[in-house]
Structure 1
Amino acid sequence: MEPISATTTPTTPTQASRGFAASPGSDFNTFLRMLTVQMQNQDPLNPLNATDFAVQLATFSGVEQQVQTNQMLSGLAAQFSLMGMAQLSGWVGQEARTKSDVWYDGAPVLLAPDPAPGADNAVLTVTDATGRLVSRETVPLDGRSYAWLGADATGNPLPEGRYQLRLESRLGDEVLRTDPIPAYAVIEEARRDGDQITLLLKGGISVSADDVTALRKP
């Protein structure tokens, strides 16, 4: 091996620290080897300053701790993920209250109407999957649960399918506001899509777990 001349440009502390900091997840053993080689190849006429050496050692220690912390956080995240799915398994089979569309299969659909303050009447509007208005019916203003029986405007049962339910809060003939109306549906499956939890309701209707406002046993 050829001897290193006195004119060889040493690796500066800034270059070493920058090279490693650019990739925080790198193997910190590589950084330690860099320091060792740097000390061996110092310019005898311009040796490494003790303060700079201390800074490099502090940087090495900080990066090592960061790598270990990241590994620990990754382990905790995996544990929380499994715990979350275990908890969600208890949701399957329960009824979730959401403002999504509903699936009508002949059984009454339980609604939770919430008319606007000041309204003197409230109307439930029912739209089918094609966007056609199929029913309008008056609902109580007291906020109690209301069972939608799935009938059209003439009182005949509607066919099985997906429907959108909305509540018109009215003052006389004026519509104060129109809102999706919360309804209960059975949860058939819980899925994790990345960081999101998706629930599959009866009829294949999917909603985010964040959109569930209440749970209850059937």
Structure 2
Amino acid sequence: MDALSTQFGSPAPSASQPRSAFASSDFETFLKMLTVQMQNQDPMNPIDSADYAVQLATFSGVEQAVRTNQLLENLQSQFGLLGMAQLAGWVGQEARAAAPVYMDGRPVTLSPNPAAAANRAVLVVTDSQSRVVSRDDIPVSAEPYEWTGTSATGAALPVGIYNLSLESYYSDDLLTTTPVEHYAPILEARGGPGGTKLILRGGIEVLATDVTALRVP
């Protein structure tokens, strides 16, 4: 059998070939080895029929493994295409997520969520260097709020990306500080090993799983 293995052995796997190709190659090699073994057995000392049964059972198991691998690969590919097809309908809509905000002078719809016991809510705006550029009192409500992108002096902020957080107070006591969700148009959907990412205006990326709401602009 060692000589037969040398004659019909499969080449070493390479990174460029799929696993199913190796299983199929082993399957064909096994069949050739079994055939040659039957042709060259010693007539005076033939192989026991039980041994053939074991080898044929192994042969059948390898065949089933090859088919299973192929089916799994096909299903994985189909699920990936299905997911991207569904997300294609998201492009052009507005996604709500707790992500950085791109401000270019156009109002941005925020979805604040102050603490239940709060009687004061403060919107805190920081720039890309984590400097506070604005602190504004906003209504203590979960209703949408239009942020116009102004600084502490009331001047329009430069075009760029900002981070928003909400401080909830009861009298002078700070209760919580939480990120603020906002709506932004979806420009693109990208698949990847970490999951599907949505590209928002300004090049901001968010995972599809982090989106909490969609709306038509």
- TM above 0.5, one fold? yes
TM-score band by shorter chain is 0.7 to 0.9
Specify the SS of the correspondent of 2:186. Answer: strand
Give the fraction of aligned pairs with identical amino acids, expressed as a percent: 56
2:23 pairs, out of 22, 25, 30, with: 25
1:43-54 correspondence runs (5 A): 47-54=46-53
Q: Deviations over 1:101-126 (max 9, x none)?
A: 00011111111111233333221100
Specify the SS of the correspondent of 1:107. Answer: coil
Q: Deviations over 1:125-169 (max 9, x none)?
A: 000112110111122333111111111112222121110001112
Unmatched runs of 5 consecutive residues or more in structure 2? 5-20
Match of 1:173 in 2: 172
CA distance in 2 between counterparts of 1:145 and 1:137 reads 15
Aligned residues: 201
RMSD: 2.6
Specify the SS of the correspondent of 1:193. Answer: coil
Q: Is the 8 A contact 1:10 1:38 kept in 2?
A: no
1:1-218 correspondence runs (5 A): 25-27=23-25, 28-42=27-41, 47-194=46-193, 196-218=195-217
- What TM-score, normalized to structure 1? 0.81
Aligned-partner residue type, residue 28 of structure 2: N
Specify the SS of the correspondent of 1:81. Answer: helix
Unmatched runs of 5 consecutive residues or more in structure 1? 1-7, 12-22
The alpha-carbon deviation at position 59 of structure 1 amounts to: 1.9
The alpha-carbon deviation at position 29 of structure 1 amounts to: 1.7
Deviating more after overlay: 44-53 vs 201-210: 44-53
Runs of 4+ in 1 over 6 A off after TM superposition: 8-11
CA distance in 2 between counterparts of 1:53 and 1:190 reads 55
Q: Is the 8 A contact 1:24 1:67 kept in 2?
A: no
Change over 3 Å in CA distance of 1:41–1:9 after alignment to 2: farther
Deviating more after overlay: 50-59 vs 148-157: 50-59
The alpha-carbon deviation at position 88 of structure 1 amounts to: 1.9
